[in-house]
A and B are shown apart, each in its own frame.
Chain A
């Protein structure tokens, strides 16, 4: 009988000890709070420095690394936010995640003065469009990515192309095919292939989904089966049948076409690719895969993204990173102040100079520091491209839309004039939940 009171006492002590330890763990609340900033691995050193600079007497920003693949980044953040995780304060978001997350009410909108601060008139139009949802500012653009046409000046000259004027896909495919050159694109079954398709369609004046209905989610109107869709398919079909396509055309990505610019044999390439290309080749002068000397590096040219239809202005792709604030954050005010700080002009300038991640603000492109780091005409091409860029559909179902397009437009060698209709039918089924992906 004496055993019971002893056991009770022991249990009581154990419980008390446990609750003390739990309480002391919670005791951190009274100290300076930490804000968790989930970042993708691009430009980590500068992001760490930024987190330090933007920490104040009231809060500390702690950088947490997300996985390298965009799908894994999205899944990890979504899992946390769906579980109403209060420790997700700041997030680096790919622009296509913003609509999905905002529609699920996982992002805390910026209001009043702060909204004006993160999205003032200095922010380039293409980047600004990615940060709003339902007429609210739900994210702050941190850096903007876009694609331009990279090419060998000697190849364009041999083909007789005037690169000061806009060129079309038809022109560059013919020029490359006739002059021992190639065309570098991203046509593997992945997101960047959808980026290409979207830009081709928008360049022909069309859209995958009707922009006025795109925010309606499942009820959005699918408009890919249009003349613009057919024009886009015609470009892909033409390249697939051309001798200018690269050997790994159907599995090509941003990295695979880099090597074809300065090949051992051949005239080089026309390549649509992101802004990192300039710094990439500059760092490879005299090294394998790069220009053999400074003179050959100077043969690298850049021009606006090619036109799908002659005379119709192209709509270059838009990428980059927007900073969102978690809707369940314990310190929403601090998190929004921190978001303003890590996206300010100084932060954007540092990211551009140190990491090659281009700004989303015009004033940063105009700054002296950037003009020292990049040729001025390249800087103005980047800012023009971001300003006139066409975003991918801003839909809460973007991930499904992208996968549906990939399943019907890949392989690029199978694309025909009938592909837009096939993909429209499938997209309609997917949006209505009537088919599996």
Chain B
């Protein structure tokens, strides 16, 4: 049991490699040459827009008034960071991220267990669990909007505590519930898929050993399965949290930001696409990028897992 556990951890001694031979140096040089074109292309398509956004964020610049473009330094960042709207939308985004990822983790884990353990009709069950993830977000957003609609939806008639004409999109909290329900339904399968990969890595020998030692089902879950899945859980939570932080489609379709349900991506979209304010819009997108980095760093720190370890590179 202990031996297997140590295998997944990173041993610093592994870093001490023997000096490279001429042949391996030549191979490395060839590898760099082979990778270079792809790397240059990647930089062109990813780094260029990012640097351009960074540059534009230093200007007061409207697409409809290009002649009045004016360098303002970091003033757009100061405006955004001192505006209550920015913090309200950040609050919304963080709340959506925490609630949806937490719920998805629990439901996703249950689904992963089902997919892992199921003996009969394995293909059908696995496929049906994964179907929502195959649906385009805009389509699922519309489907859930119709479901929650007070005129032609069915949610009101199914729920015992709501009246038949309750308007879910008429106020903040109920709108948020509808948005999060749609988000959870859509992306839980993704979470369960990643967790299934983690479950498959847990050695049966360890589980059997624990069983022989007299561990109960809960003990096996907490002491054997979850610790061995830590890397997979981190990857799942990290991916989903970053995804959830960029939530846009569901809000766009279901409320269009009404009743204060806007996310930070939606705010950025409105400044750039609707208002044509390229300067402050770019500043917001840079802030969004930085906050995604912060979220990633926090999650990696919280789980105390080495990323290389999580990618099974150890």
Contact = CB atoms under 8 A, between A and B. Distances in A.
A206 to B, nearest CB: 25
Nearest to A437: B275
B83 A433 contact: no
Nearest to A71: B274
B68 A217 contact: yes
Contacts of A6: none
B275 A403 contact: yes
B204 interface: no
Given A217-B68, A433-B76, A436-B267, A104 B275 contact: no
B65 A396 contact: yes
Please report whether the interface of chain A is mostly helix, strand, loop or mixed according to DSSP: helix
B65 A436 contact: no
A243 to B, nearest CB: 23
Given A433-B279, A436-B267, A75 B76 contact: no
Nearest to A75: B273
Contacts of A100: 64, 276
A411 B63 CA distance: 30
A400 B68 contact: no
A217 B85 CA distance: 24
Interface string B157-191: 00000000000000000000000000000000000
A21 interface: no
Nearest to A72: B274
Contacts of B306: none
Please report whether the interface of chain B is mostly helix, strand, loop or mixed according to DSSP: helix
A103 interface: yes
Nearest to A434: B79
Interface string B83-98: 1011000000000000
Interface in A396-433: 396-397, 399-400, 403, 433
Contacts of A399: 274-276
Nearest to B258: A189
Contact of A436 (B63, B79, B274): B79
Interface string B200-227: 0000000000000000000000000000
Contact of A433 (B63, B79, B86): B79
Contacts of A217: 62, 65, 68
Contacts of B83: 435-436
Contacts of B277: 400, 433
Interface of B: 60, 62-66, 68, 72, 75-76, 79-80, 83, 85-86, 258, 267, 270-271, 273-277, 279-280, 284
Interface of A: 71, 75, 78, 82, 100-101, 103-105, 189, 217-218, 396-397, 399-400, 403, 433-437
7 closest A-B pairs by beta carbon, nearest first, are A100-B64, A396-B64, A433-B60, A436-B83, A396-B65, A104-B64, A436-B85
Given A403-B274, A403-B275, A436-B284, 13 more contacts: A78-B276, A103-B64, A103-B65, A189-B258, A396-B64, A397-B62, A433-B75, A435-B79, A436-B79, A436-B80, A436-B267, A437-B85, A437-B275
